[in-house]
Amino acid sequence: MVSTEVFFYPINHLEF
């Protein structure tokens, strides 16, 4: 869960 959160953090920020 922690890995996914950190991994999707930059992607989500860039997407949104």
DSSP per position, 1-16:
-HHHHHHHHHHHHHH-
**What's the pLDDT at 2?**
62
**What's the pLDDT at 1?**
57
**What's the pLDDT at 8?**
62
For 1-16, what is each residue's pLDDT tens digit?
Answer: 565 566 666 666 655 5
Q: In whole angstroms, what is the distance from residue 2 CA to residue 11 CA?
A: 15
Dihedral angle over CA of 5, 16, 11, 1, nearest 10: 10
Q: The whole model's pTM is what?
A: 0.06
**What's the pLDDT at 6?**
62
Give the dihedral sign, CA 6/12/14/16.
negative
**What's the pLDDT at 13?**
62
